[in-house]
Amino acid sequence: MQTAENNGLIKFEEVSSTLMQAGDILAQNTKLSQSAQKAAQFLLDTVEAEGMTDELDSKINEWQVKAKQALVKNNERRTPITQLLTRISREFTDLENPLDSSKPDSLFSQLQKHRNIFAAQKEKERKAKEAEILRKQNVEKERIQITADVENQIRSIYSEKLLQFRTGVAKILSSMTLENFAEKSEKIKGIAVDYPRDKFNEITPNVFPAYLDSVELERIIIATRVKLYDELSANFRENMEVDKQAAIDELPSKKKELERLAKASAAEAEQIKAQQAERERLAKAKLKLEQEEAEKQAKAKIEAEKAMNNAQTLFDTTAQIAEINDTAKVKKSYVIEVADVAGWGYVFMLYYEKIGINMNIEDLGKKSLNQMKKEIEKIANKNGEMLDHPSIRYVEDIKAVVTK
């Protein structure tokens, strides 16, 4: 490639002497050309007015011979000048070419090529970092979700067990007879109100993570049990103490009811039993309603905490991606690689659908397939619309940006 170092520069004296003749030569060439044009126009007007004759054909041939001679003469006179101007133009462009980004072999383009390769490598590294950030986000989101699921399940299992214990107290009362009254009374008074930690630790939720391993999952389950035990064991004691004391307080009235039942007639006994059944039904429904309300409040609390943690994770991820994107001074676009004739057919089809259908037939006929491909690339880079065909591949083109 020719650079700015040029030992064959045109000397000023050569330029000056040659250009001094330019005025005279231009005047001579103008005079000769205008004279020839005038004669040609006369012949053309005569043909159009009178039609061709042998005489006119001979005169036109004579003019054509002279026109060729005039062209040669004009060319010979102006050649030294135009050659000099061409040389001058070439010397200027030779100075500009090494700096011209539109020239593939310029120094600018050679340096840009290295920048583009480096930019593509950095973009690959940036994408790898972004992928790792997103992977960690997915892991953290799953950790948040699994933690919420584990807590929900532990609370739900505990809630069911609490309901079983509470309804168990009611069942002891409902199963009392005069014969077993003393035994059942002692059973009520001996009801445990503490939830043993070892039994609480047997609660095992069923969760199936995609990212977390078994060690991490076990850690979450253990940590959640530790976090919940004090709260739920206190809740268990509070409910069981209330239910136990209520049952103890009910024992005198229960005994009287049993004694009344023993002395009652068949009709009265049926009525007493119906009243007992209704009380038990209402008590059971009350316990179930309390359980559902407690579960609803717990789930709402867990969802709120999960949403807050997810929001923080998303904020952190967005900040990290923004940080790595801020350093990327590149221009990204797509170029199309067409593998075979079928691929070119799809290029034409999309071009016709998006652009060609609105063109006139002459302009459409002038379009080459490569020009159509360029337009399809513009569509992909503008709005992301791409051809889906095995013979067409969109390749990301990375270029370094020249910043001021």
122 assigned to some structural domain: no
298 assigned to some structural domain: yes
* Residue 311 sits in the same domain as residue 340: no
* Residue 140 sits in the same domain as residue 283: yes
* Residue 283 sits in the same domain as residue 270: yes
Is the per-residue pLDDT at 28 higher than 80?
Answer: yes
* Residue 230 sits in the same domain as residue 322: yes
Counting the structural domains of the chain, the total is 3
Residue 393 confidence (pLDDT): 92
120 assigned to some structural domain: no
Is the per-residue pLDDT at 271 higher than 60?
Answer: yes
Residues 382, 387, 390, 392: is their CA dihedral positive or negative?
negative
Residue 265 confidence (pLDDT): 83
Is the per-residue pLDDT at 19 higher than 50?
Answer: yes
* Residue 343 sits in the same domain as residue 322: no
Alpha-helical runs (H) found in 175-213: 181-189, 197-200
109 assigned to some structural domain: no
Tell me: the pLDDT tens digits for 168-182? 998 998 888 899 999
* Residue 311 sits in the same domain as residue 354: no
Residue finishing a domain among 291, 326, 361: 326
258 assigned to some structural domain: yes
3 assigned to some structural domain: no
Domain residues for 289? 127-326
Is the per-residue pLDDT at 4 higher than 80?
Answer: no
* Residue 55 sits in the same domain as residue 147: no
* Residue 295 sits in the same domain as residue 341: no
Question: What's the rounded Cα separation, in Å, for the pair 396 and 366?
Answer: 28
Tell me: the pLDDT tens digits for 318-348? 888 888 876 657 888 899 999 999 999 989 9
Taking residues 86-107, report their average pLDDT.
88
Confidence category of residue 9, pLDDT binned at 50, 70, 90: low
* Residue 269 sits in the same domain as residue 181: yes
- Show Cβ contacts of residue 87 under 8 Å, excluding neighbours closer than 6 positions: 10
Confidence category of residue 20, pLDDT binned at 50, 70, 90: confident
* Average predicted confidence (pLDDT) for the chain: 88
Tell me: the pLDDT tens digits for 115-152? 888 988 988 898 899 999 999 999 999 999 999 999 99
* Residue 259 sits in the same domain as residue 341: no
Question: What's the rounded Cα separation, in Å, for the pair 106 and 97?
Answer: 6
The C-alpha angle with vertex 89 and arms to 86 and 91, in degrees rounded to 5, equals 110
* Residue 197 sits in the same domain as residue 298: yes
Whether residue 240 contacts residue 248, with contact meaning beta carbons closer than 8 Å, is answered with no
Is the per-residue pLDDT at 253 higher than 60?
Answer: yes
Residue finishing a domain among 294, 326, 358: 326
Taking residues 84-88, report their average pLDDT.
85
118 assigned to some structural domain: no
Confidence category of residue 12, pLDDT binned at 50, 70, 90: low
107 assigned to some structural domain: no
Question: What's the rounded Cα separation, in Å, for the pair 139 and 54?
Answer: 97
Global confidence as pTM: 0.63
Cα distances (Å, whole numbers) of residue 228 to 196, 298, 338: 13, 12, 62
The C-alpha angle with vertex 79 and arms to 76 and 80, in degrees rounded to 5, equals 115
Confidence category of residue 72, pLDDT binned at 50, 70, 90: very high
Residue finishing a domain among 302, 326, 350: 326
* Residue 191 sits in the same domain as residue 307: yes
Is the per-residue pLDDT at 84 higher than 90?
Answer: no
